[in-house]
């Protein structure tokens, strides 16, 4: 039974077995107000996140090919959450057409089904839609900031462009009066199950993850941590439990959130990537209690990502809209990384990582 005595709302999380989806499904199941059902191509992270503490319904579904499964789940649900995305910058560069297929076409299947069945939609946009000009524009505001991207040759922005188009399509449905939605823009969420760690087997086809998993893998395998173009860029990292709490605030407030866009982030946790490398190296030395310091070395973006990369120099959210719903971030930068790193160290074998350090 939910807090107000009503039956829990059924929430279908499409693409919900990734990092954000599995953590959100767990938080929804704990809340008492919502019953999560996850649709995805596998349930690995979902199973790790629940780890025997309760259960989450799961249906295998590829949004590009399993239309009937998607349609039936959305028809049954009270709320639809669309998490369908390719989120790794290296993938934007290596496989731009794949990004379009999944992020744009896959999401359109979800959005169109939500419109057809008149279901409330929470859609995951990205902080990346604001583009590259954070230095002069910060903080980014949902309703006032421009979305400024580089030239077409810099195809890093293919993901941002896909997400921006989806935001505009959803907004247009709102104007047409046939969709109730909330769009959310995550600002560098970090925590348990973020990306996959490098298994340490030297596999050539291993994905290049985002910065947290990249630095964590380097520490676990005693390799140099690589600072792209000197690590001058700035990000505001948000602990995943703060993020899922913000998302639940939105779901519990359909009136306050109706047809709005929300940044979700922690402006107090701003750091350069070079400072982050130092912070993570320090935490790891403390947690593992040993060792020679791991090297931190500069690498040109062209060498790390290939051609077509361009960075956002500063990504700082204005969080006035989400705090007006009664949410505030709680977890500071140090604790965000201590908790995220401890999970990796404690669960290295479950995550398939053979680590170098005996202490771990």
The reply to whether 226 sits near ligand UGA by the rule CB under 6 A is: yes
Virtual CA dihedral for 176, 179, 185, 191, nearest 10 degrees?
-170
User: Among the candidate windows 60-68, 70-78, 106-114, 207-215, which touches ligand UGA by CB under 6 A?
Assistant: 207-215
* Pick 169 or 312: Cβ nearer ligand UGA: 312
Computed on alpha carbons and rounded to an integer, the radius of gyration of the chain in Å comes to 20
Could you say whether residue 263 binds ligand UGA (CB under 6 A)? no
54-57-60-65 Cα dihedral, nearest 10 degrees: -140
Query: Considering the rule CB under 6 A, would residue 288 count as an interface residue with ligand UGA?
Result: no
Q: How many whole angstroms separate alpha carbon 48 and alpha carbon 61?
A: 19
Query: Is 235 near ligand UGA (CB under 6 A)?
Result: yes
Among 91, 233, 260, 269, binds ligand UGA (CB under 6 A): 233
- 227 is a contact residue toward ligand UGA (CB under 6 A): yes
CA distance 30 to 151: 45
Provide the total of helices (H) and of strands (E) in the chain, helices listed first: 15, 14
The residue count for binding ligand UGA (CB under 6 A) is 20
When the beta carbons of 12 and 280 are compared against ligand UGA, the nearer one is 280
Nearest distance in Å: CB 125, ligand UGA: 9
Cβ atoms of residues 137 and 130 within 8 Å:
yes
Nearer to ligand UGA, 136 or 303 (CB): 303
Q: Which residue number, 73 or 166, has a Cβ lying nearer to ligand UGA? A: 166
State the binding string over 174-193 for ligand UGA (x if CB under 6 A, else -).
Answer: ------------xxxx----
Closer residue to ligand UGA (CB): 216 or 250? 216
Residue with tokens 């709102």: 174
Query: What 3-state class would DSSP assign to 93?
Result: helix
Question: Taking CB under 6 A as the criterion, which residues in 124-153 touch ligand UGA?
Answer: 126-128
Give every CB contact of residue 110 below 8 A, 6+ residues apart in sequence.
Answer: 14, 63, 70, 74, 80, 82, 84, 121
Q: Is 228 in the site for ligand UGA (CB under 6 A)?
A: yes
> Does 329 participate in binding ligand UGA (rule CB under 6 A)?
no
Phi/psi at 231 (nearest 5 deg)? Answer: 65, 35
Q: Which is nearer to ligand UGA, 211 or 246 (CB)?
A: 211
For residue 80, give the 3-state DSSP assignment. strand
Q: Give the residue, chosen from 81, 87, 138, 193, that forms a contact with ligand UGA under the rule CB under 6 A.
A: 87
Q: Of 244, 116, 242, 250, which Cα lies nearest the Cα of 181?
A: 250
Q: Are 114 and 76 within 8 A, CB to CB?
A: no
Does residue 36 bind ligand UGA (CB under 6 A)? no
| d(C-alpha 305, C-alpha 53), whole Å | 39
Q: How many CB atoms lie within 10 A of CB 54?
A: 9
Instruction: Please state, in angstroms and rounded to a whole number, the distance separating the CA atoms of residues 333 and 336.
Output: 5
Q: Rule CB under 6 A: choose which of 210, 252, 281, 321 binds ligand UGA.
A: 210
Contact 28, 52 (CB under 8 A): no
Question: Which lies closer to ligand UGA via its Cβ, residue 112 or residue 272?
Answer: 272
Strand partners, 12: 37, 80
**Residue 311 binds ligand UGA, judged by CB under 6 A:** yes
Check residue 82 for interaction with ligand UGA (CB under 6 A): no
Closest approach, Cβ 18 to ligand UGA, in A, equals 11
Stretch of 42-50, 53-61, 108-116, 220-228 lying at the interface with ligand UGA (CB under 6 A): 220-228
* Catalytic center residues: 159
Contact pick of 21, 191, 231, 317 for ligand UGA (by CB under 6 A): 231
Among 38, 264, 273, 348, the residue binding ligand UGA under the rule CB under 6 A is 273
C-alpha 248: how far from its chain's center?
15
Question: Does the protein bind ligand UGA through residue 102 (CB under 6 A)?
Answer: no
Residues engaged in binding ligand UGA (CB under 6 A): 87, 89, 126-128, 186-189, 210-211, 214, 226-228, 231, 233, 235, 273, 311
């Amino acid at each position: 039974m939910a807090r107000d005595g009503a039956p829990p709302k059924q929430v279908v999380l499409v693409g919900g077995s990734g990092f954000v989806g599995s953590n959100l499904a767990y938080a929804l199941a704990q809340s008492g107000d919502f019953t999560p059902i996850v649709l995805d191509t596998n349930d690995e992270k979902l199973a790790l996140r629940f780890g025997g503490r309760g259960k989450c319904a799961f249906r295998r579904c590829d949004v590009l090919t399993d239309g009937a499964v998607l349609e039936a789940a959305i028809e049954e649900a009270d709320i639809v959450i669309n998490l369908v995305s390719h989120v790794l910058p290296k993938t934007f560069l290596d496989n731009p057409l794949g990004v379009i297929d999944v992020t744009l076409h896959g999401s359109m299947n979800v959005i169109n089904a939500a419109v057809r069945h008149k279901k409330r939609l929470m859609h995951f946009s990205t902080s990346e839609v604001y583009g590259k000009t954070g230095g002069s524009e910060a903080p980014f505001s949902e309703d006032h900031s421009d979305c400024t991207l580089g030239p077409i040759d810099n195809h890093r922005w293919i993901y941002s462009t896909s997400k921006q188009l989806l935001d505009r399509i959803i907004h247009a449905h709102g104007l047409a009066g046939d969709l109730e939605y909330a769009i959310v823009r995550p600002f560098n969420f970090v925590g348990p199950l973020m990306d996959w760690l490098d298994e340490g087997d030297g596999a050539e086809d291993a994905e290049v993850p985002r910065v947290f998993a990249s630095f964590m893998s380097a520490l676990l395998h005693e390799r140099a941590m690589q600072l792209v173009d000197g690590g001058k860029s700035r990000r505001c990292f948000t602990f995943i439990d703060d993020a899922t709490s913000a998302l639940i605030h939105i779901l519990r407030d359909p009136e306050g959130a109706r047809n709005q866009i929300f940044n979700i982030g922690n402006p107090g946790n701003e750091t350069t990537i070079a400072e982050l490398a130092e912070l993570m190296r320090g935490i790891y030395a403390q947690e593992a209690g040993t060792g020679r310091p791991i090297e931190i070395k500069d690498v040109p973006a062209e060498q790390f990502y290939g051609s077509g990369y361009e960075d956002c120099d500063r990504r700082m959210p204005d969080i006035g809209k989400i705090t007006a719903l009664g949410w505030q971030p709680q977890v500071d930068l140090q604790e965000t990384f201590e908790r995220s790193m401890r999970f990796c160290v404690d669960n290295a074998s479950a995550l398939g990582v053979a680590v170098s350090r005996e202490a771990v």
